[in-house]
Amino acid sequence: MTPNDTHRAVEAVWRIESAKIIARAARIVGDVGLAEELAQEAFVVALERWPESGVPDNPGAWLMTVAKRRAIDLLRRRTVHERKQEQLGRELETEQAGSEPELDATIDDPVGDDLLRLIFIASHPVLSTEARVALTLRLLGGLTTEEIARAFLTSAPTVAQRIVRAKRTLAEAHVPFEVPQGADLSARLSSVLEVIYLIFNEGYSATAGDDWLRPGLCEDALRLGRILAELAPQEPEVHGLVALMEIQASRLRARVDPSGRPVLLLDQDRARWDPLLIRRGLAALERAGGLGGALGPYALQAAIAACHARARIAAETDWERIVALYDALVQLTPSPVVELNRAVAVAMAFGPAAGLEIVEALTAEPALQGYHLLPSVRGDLLAKLGRLEEARVEFEHAASLTRNTRERELLLSRAAACAP
Amino acid sequence: MRFMLLMIPGGYESAAPGTLPDAKAVAAMMKYNESLQRAGVLLALDGLHPPSMGARVSFAGGKPKVSDGPFSEAKEVVGGYWMIQVRSKEEAIEWAKRCPGSDNEVIEVRQVQEFADFPPDVQEAAAGFSELQAQSGQLKGS
């Protein structure tokens, strides 16, 4: 292998192993920032040694061993509390007892626990959302600062600062490197899922002209979700989120027309939906459902997406089932936007008059006042009821509320179509 | 990026119908498959029955011709595949290296063509043909 080949091989190993190594180091030294430095030191050593000695048979274990040794050395050099010294002594005994246990590549449980801890800490609520996203992509996604910056359309120094501050915040708050338990778990898990879905949506909203890193965020989010599903298989909302992302990702190729303009779900060429991802999404949804209990918000959204995914053509959509799912969703996460979506589904299932009833009740909603989709939906339903003059007014109002040129054109043309 | 890891087991080209891998090999492969799953990179995987249970269709002269397996001229045949999602070819190769392959097994690493790889005119043509897929019910969810 040329040095360049080796470098790329080391980077590939890094992509695969770095999160686990950081997680293990963090467990030992109790600090995420320090852990990342130690892991990166191991990476640098690999870059120096492997071009000469060759890539080792078990490169992950090699890196893990180097990082662990440095972490333990670091602990030794620090002034530690007596209890910690005892703990360290026990750990060292375990190290010596098992001859290089890391060479068994499949010690999952300890590593799995550490990885889970790292996932939770990277999206700790003490951090701002942006910080959680950056830290998650960095520590768990293995993205560089530059890659994160490009993916989120910001500058590398901004992201670097964000990450530095995040690590400092965690250290100053003495956030314990533990998996949350009991009552805490639900809220903390919500935070993790929120971060992953945020990353996914950023990727999903990327347009054709964007840097490839942006749509790549969908893959990053999916990978993180799938990893979490294996680490916390008993959590239905994890599978729910994975299901939602798999099914949404299945539509990526159909979302824009040849000239790059967005295509609405019901107008999409379903032949362009990825059947592999749909199958995976439906399987994940089954896993969520199979765990018993009522479906949570992510699983419900996934179930709605699954209704669309199962319909060969738009006309075969099971709208009544979608209405039932929205009924459940609105109970769990009541919001005017969810209610508006429910209205659309009701209209499709039971006719425009039924949908319009729900929309009328929303017109006074303060949260929806500047939201162009409210008059847009209202206009659509009025048009279907033959109340064209009222529909025209709604479409024009909607057009005035949206800043998206393409949307505005669409709404104005719908308004024009209502004119006698 | 998606990659296929194609397993090419030496000798499989002449394996008798009903040949199945032994328990030890299966156990080792299961551990490997689980590692792909835990890493969040596994999209799909399957094993294939040997060529002696299969057939080939060739198209010389524009007429399809069927030959039943085994195929004497085939020196290497596909025994199974994994489809994985990774960031680079090097990552795909690294995963292939971790497979507990035996002495006579080879994995070929091939990138999956994505729609965006094709130039616009090919995309247009493909869009037309894919109408047929929809009509044949190919997209019915499982």
Among chain A residues, CA nearest to B85: A219
Whether the Cβ atoms of residue A75 and residue A31 lie closer than 8 Å to each other: no
Would you kindly state where each structural domain of chain B is located, as residue ranges? 2-57+68-115
- pLDDT value at position A99? 41
**pLDDT tens by residue, A301-310:** 999 999 999 9
With b meaning 16 or more CB within 10 Å and e meaning fewer, what string describes A117-146?
Answer: bbbbbbbbeebeeebbbbbbbbbbbbbebe
- CB-nearest to A108 from B38, B88, B134 is B38
Q: Closest approach of chain A CAs to the CA of B57, in angstroms?
A: 26
Q: Is B94 on the interface with A (CB under 8 A)?
A: yes
Residue with the two structure tokens 């960095």: A138
- CB-nearest to B139 from A12, A283, A312 is A312
Q: Closest approach of chain B CAs to the CA of A223, in angstroms?
A: 5
Residue with the two structure tokens 């790329």: A8
Poorest-confidence range of A4-8, A131-135, A144-148? A4-8
Res B54 pLDDT > 70: yes
* Interface residue of A4, A226, A228 to substitute, partner B, most B CBs within 10 Å: A226
**Chain B residues within an 8 Å CB radius of A59:** 94
Q: How many CB pairs under 8 A join A and B?
A: 90
Among chain B residues, CA nearest to A5: B90
Of the candidates A62, A76, A77, A51, which has an alpha carbon nearest to the alpha carbon of residue A20? A62
Q: Is A34 on the interface with B (CB under 8 A)?
A: no
Q: Is B72 on the interface with A (CB under 8 A)?
A: no
Q: Is B119 on the interface with A (CB under 8 A)?
A: no
Among chain A residues, CA nearest to B133: A271
Q: How far apart are CA A22 and CA A33, in angstroms?
A: 9
**Sign of the CA dihedral A36, A38, A42, A48?**
positive
User: What is the CATH number assigned to the segment(s) A1-106?
Assistant: 1.10.1740
For residue A240, the Cα-to-chain-centroid distance in whole angstroms is: 12
Q: Is B95 on the interface with A (CB under 8 A)?
A: yes
Q: How far apart are CA A407 and CA A395, in angstroms?
A: 11
- pLDDT value at position B139? 37
* Interface residue of B82, B88, B90 to substitute, partner A, most A CBs within 10 Å: B90
Q: How far apart are CA A188 and CA A116, in angstroms?
A: 12
pLDDT-derived band of residue A140, with 50, 70 and 90 as boundaries?
very high
Mean pLDDT of A56-73: 92
Percent of chain A predicted with pLDDT > 70: 93
Instruction: Please name every residue paired with A327 in a beta bridge, in sequence order, or none if there are none.
Output: none
E strands in A70-136: none
Res A6 pLDDT > 80: yes
Peptide bond before residue B70 is cis, with ω within 30 degrees of 0: yes
**Chain A residues within an 8 Å CB radius of B140:** 310, 312
Burial of B46 (0-12, 13-18, 19+ CB in 10 A): exposed
Using DSSP, how many helices (H) and how many strands (E) does chain A show?
Answer: 19, 0
**Chain B residues within an 8 Å CB radius of A316:** none
Percent of chain B predicted with pLDDT > 70: 80
Q: How far apart are CA B84 and CA A253, in angstroms?
A: 19
Task: With H, G, I as helix, E, B as strand and everything else as coil, classify residue A100.
Answer: coil
Poorest-confidence range of A74-83, A175-184, A243-252? A74-83
- pLDDT value at position A407? 81
Res A103 pLDDT > 60: no
Poorest-confidence range of A157-161, A360-364, B112-116? B112-116
Q: Closest approach of chain B CAs to the CA of A254, in angstroms?
A: 11
Q: Is B134 on the interface with A (CB under 8 A)?
A: yes
Poorest-confidence range of A146-150, A287-291, A408-412, B94-98? A408-412
Long-range contacts of A52-56, Cβ-Cβ distance < 8 Å, separation of 24 or more: A54/A1, A55/A1, A55/A6, A55/A9, A55/A10, A55/A13
Return the CATH superfamily for domain B2-57+68-115. Answer: Dimeric alpha+beta barrel (3.30.70.1060)
Res A214 pLDDT > 80: yes
Cβ distance A271 to B39 less than 8 Å, yes or no, reads no
pLDDT-derived band of residue A112, with 50, 70 and 90 as boundaries?
confident
Q: How far apart are CA B68 and CA B76, in angstroms?
A: 16
pLDDT-derived band of residue A96, with 50, 70 and 90 as boundaries?
low
Poorest-confidence range of A8-17, A104-113, A291-300? A104-113
**pLDDT tens by residue, A297-341:** 999 999 999 999 999 999 999 999 999 999 999 999 999 999 999
Q: How far apart are CA A399 and CA A254, in angstroms?
A: 25
Cβ distance B127 to A271 less than 8 Å, yes or no, reads yes
**pLDDT tens by residue, B16-32:** 999 998 899 999 999 99
* Interface residue of A218, A272, A277, A286 to substitute, partner B, most B CBs within 10 Å: A272
Of the candidates A277, A280, A118, which has an alpha carbon nearest to the alpha carbon of residue A204? A277
Instruction: Please name every residue paired with B47 in a beta bridge, in sequence order, or none if there are none.
Output: B80
Measured from the Cβ of residue A384, the count of other Cβ atoms closer than 10 Å reads 15
Q: Is B139 on the interface with A (CB under 8 A)?
A: yes
Q: Is A306 on the interface with B (CB under 8 A)?
A: yes
pLDDT-derived band of residue A105, with 50, 70 and 90 as boundaries?
very low
Q: Is B63 on the interface with A (CB under 8 A)?
A: no
Cβ distance A258 to B123 less than 8 Å, yes or no, reads yes
**Chain A residues within an 8 Å CB radius of B32:** none
User: What is the pTM assigned to this prediction?
Assistant: 0.88
- Average pLDDT over chain A, rounded to an integer: 90
- pLDDT value at position A206? 82
* Interface residue of A14, A15, A119, A321 to substitute, partner B, most B CBs within 10 Å: A15
**pLDDT tens by residue, A159-203:** 999 999 999 999 999 998 889 988 889 999 999 999 999 999 999
Would you kindly state where each structural domain of chain A is located, as residue ranges? 1-106
Instruction: Please name every residue paired with B85 in a beta bridge, in sequence order, or none if there are none.
Output: B2
Residue B135: which region, alpha, beta or left (left: phi > 0; alpha: psi -120 to 50)?
Answer: alpha
At B89, phi and psi to the nearest 5? -60, -35
**pLDDT tens by residue, A367-414:** 898 899 999 999 999 999 999 999 999 999 999 998 878 788 889 999
- pLDDT value at position B10? 95
Q: Closest approach of chain B CAs to the CA of A280, in angstroms?
A: 8
- CB-nearest to B141 from A224, A225, A279 is A279
pLDDT-derived band of residue B122, with 50, 70 and 90 as boundaries?
low
- pLDDT value at position B137? 42
Q: Which residues contact A141 (CB under 8 A, 6 or more apart)?
A: A19, A220, A223, A224
Cβ distance B134 to A258 less than 8 Å, yes or no, reads no
